[in-house]
Amino acid sequence: MKQLLSGNEAIALGAYHAGVQVASAYPGTPSTEILENMASYKDVYAEWSTNEKVAMEVGLGAATAGVRALVSMKHVGLNVAADAFFGASNVGVRGGLVVVCADDPGMHSSQNEQDNRHYARFAKVPMLEPSNSQEAYSLMAYAFRLSEELDSPIMVRTTTRISHAKSVVEVAGERPELGPPPPFIHSPSKYVMVPSNARPRHPLAEQRILRAAERFEEFPLNEVIWGDRKVGIISAGVAYQYAREAFPQASFLKLVTTYPLPHQLVKSFAAEVKTLIVVEELDPFMEEIIKSIGIAVQGKSLFPIIGELNIDIVLQGAMKAGLISRMPKEAVATTPALKPLPPRPPLLCPGCPHRGVGYVLSRLRFGPKGSIPGARVGGRKGKEWHIATSDIGCYTLMVYSPLFAIDSCVCMGASITMAHGLEKAGVAEKTVSVLGDSTFMHTGIPGLVNMVYNRSHSTVIILDNHTTAMTGHQGHPAAGRSARNEEAPKVDIAELARGIGVKDVNVISAFNLKEIEDTIRHCTANNEPSVIVVQGPCSLYERISGTALRVNEERCNGCKLCLDIGCPAITFDGDKAYIVPTMCIGESCSLCVQVCARNAIEKAGD
Amino acid sequence: MLEKVDILMTGVGGQGVIMASDILTTAALDIGYDVKKTDSLGMAQRGGSVTSHVRIGEKVFSPMIPPGGADFLVSYERLEAVRSLVLLRPDGIAIIDSVAVTPLSVTIEGYHYPSIDEVKESISSITQRVYVLPVMEMATKLGNPRASSVLCLGFLSVFLEIPEQSWLDEIRRHLPSRLHEVNLAAFNTGVEAARERQKEEDN
**What is the Cα–Cα distance from B99 to B102, expressed in whole angstroms?**
10
Q: What is the pLDDT at residue B163?
A: 94
Please answer yes or no on whether B45 and A568 come within 8 Å at the CB atom. Answer: no
The pLDDT of residue B136 is above 90: yes
CA of B133: how far to CAs of A364, A372, A592, B130, B200, in Å? 46, 40, 33, 10, 15
Before A336, cis peptide (omega within 30)?
no
From chain A, the residues in CB contact with B90 under 8 A are 334
Secondary structure in 3-state letters for A64-123:
HCCCEEEEEEEHHHHHHHHHHHHHHHHHCCCCCEEEEEEECCCCCCCCCCCCCHHHHHHH
In the CATH hierarchy, which fold is given to the domain comprising A355-535?
A: Rossmann fold (3.40.50)
A43, pLDDT greater than 90: yes
Inter-chain residue contact B68 with A341, CB threshold 8 Å: no
| C-alpha span between B120 and B141 (Å, rounded) | 25
Report the distance separating Cα A16 and Cα A10, nearest Å.
10
Q: Are B126 and B111 in contact (CB under 8 A)?
A: no
DSSP letters along A544-605, please?
A: ---PPEEE-TTT-----GGGGG--TTEEEETTEEEE-TTT---TTT-HHHHH-TT--EEETT
Domain parsing of chain A, residue ranges? 2-216, 223-328, 355-535, 549-603
Estimate the crossing angle of helix B17-30 against helix B148-157, to 10 degrees.
40
Q: What is the CATH number of the domain that holds B174?
A: 3.40.920.10
**CA-closest candidate to residue B9, choices B119, B153, B158:** B153
Q: Is a pLDDT exceeding 70 seen at residue A380?
A: no
B59–chain A Cβ distance below 8 A for any pair: no
- Interface contact A344-B66, CB threshold 8 A: no
B66 touching chain A per CB within 8 A: yes
- Chain B nearest CA to A239, separation (Å): 8
Angstrom distance (rounded) from CA A3 to CA A7: 12
| A597 and chain B in contact, CB less than 8 A | no
The percent of chain A in helix, strand and coil, each rounded to the nearest 5, is 35, 20, 45
pLDDT-above-90 percentage for chain B = 76
A540 pLDDT above the threshold of 90 = no
Percent of chain A with pLDDT over 70: 97
DSSP B33: -
CB A3 within 8 A of CB A49: no
DSSP classification of residue B86: G
Hey, which residues 1-40 in chain A have their CB within 8 Å of chain B?
2, 4, 29-30
Q: What is the reported pLDDT for A379?
A: 62
Looking at A18-32, A130-144, A238-252, A379-393, which range is the least confident one?
A379-393
Give residue-wise pLDDT tens across range A316-345: 998 888 888 887 765 455 555 567 899 888
CATH assignment, A2-216: 3.40.50.970
- Name B34's bridge partners: B57
Domain membership of residue B134 as a residue range: 5-202
Taking CB atoms and an 8 Å limit, are B105 and A343 in contact across chains? yes
Give Cα separations from A528 to A454, A498, B125 (angstroms): 11, 13, 64
**Do B114 and A343 count as a contact with CB atoms less than 8 A apart?**
no
Nearest to B35 among A108, A168, A332 (CB): A168
Alpha carbons within 13 angstroms on the beta-carbon side of residue A90 total 16
Topology match between the domains A355-535 and A549-603? no
Q: Which residues, other chains included, contact A541 with Cβ-Cβ below 8 Å and sequence gap of 6+?
A: A465, A466, A467, A469, A473
DSSP, residue by residue, A141-210: HHHHHHHHHHTS-EEEEEEHHHHH-EEEEE----PPP--SPPPP---HHHH---HHHHTTHHHHHHHHHH
Q: Is the CB of residue A353 less than 8 Å from the CB of residue A344?
A: no
| pTM of the model as a whole | 0.96
Torsion angle in degrees (nearest 10) through CA of B90, B91, B97, B101: 10
Query: How far is the C-alpha of A66 from the C-alpha of A184, rounded, in Å?
Result: 8
Interatomic CA distance for residues A547 and A605, integer angstroms = 10
Largest CA distance in chain B: 50
Q: What is the CATH code for A549-603? A: 3.30.70.20
Percent of chain A at pLDDT > 90 equals 88
Q: What is the pLDDT of residue A542?
A: 80
Question: What phi and psi, each to the nearest 5 degrees, are found at residue A408?
Answer: -155, 155
Subunit contact B48:A347, Cβ cutoff 8 A: yes
Residues of chain B in contact with residue A347, where contact means CB-CB under 8 angstroms, are 46-48, 104
Q: Return the half-sphere exposure (C-beta side, CA atoms, 13 A cut-off) of residue A361.
A: 32
Are B97 and B148 a contacting pair, CB within 8 Å?
yes
Please tell me the distance from the alpha carbon of residue A150 to that of residue A144, in angstroms, as a whole number.
Answer: 10
Mean predicted confidence (pLDDT) in A476-484: 95
Question: CB under 8 Å to A198, separation ≥6 — which residues?
Answer: A90
- Among residues A220, A251, A248, the alpha carbon closest in space to that of A235 is found at A251
A173 has pLDDT over 70: yes
Q: DSSP code of B45?
A: G
What average pLDDT is seen over chain A?
A: 95
Sign of CA dihedral A559, B107, A110, A70: positive
Tens digit of each residue's pLDDT (9 = 90 or more) over A270-308: 999 999 999 999 999 999 999 999 999 999 999 999 999
B42 touches chain A (CB under 8 A): yes
Q: Is the pLDDT of residue B201 over 70?
A: yes
Give the fold, CATH level 3, of A223-328.
Rossmann fold (3.40.50)
B27: β partners: none
> Does residue B1 surpass a pLDDT of 50?
no
Number of domains into which chain B is organized: 1
**Average of per-residue pLDDT across B82-105:** 93
Cβ neighbours of A147 (radius 10 Å): 25
CA distance linking residue A214 with residue A210, whole number of Å: 6
CB-nearest to A165 from B13, B63, B107 is: B63
Q: Please indicate if any CB of chain B lies within 8 Å of the CB of A161.
A: yes
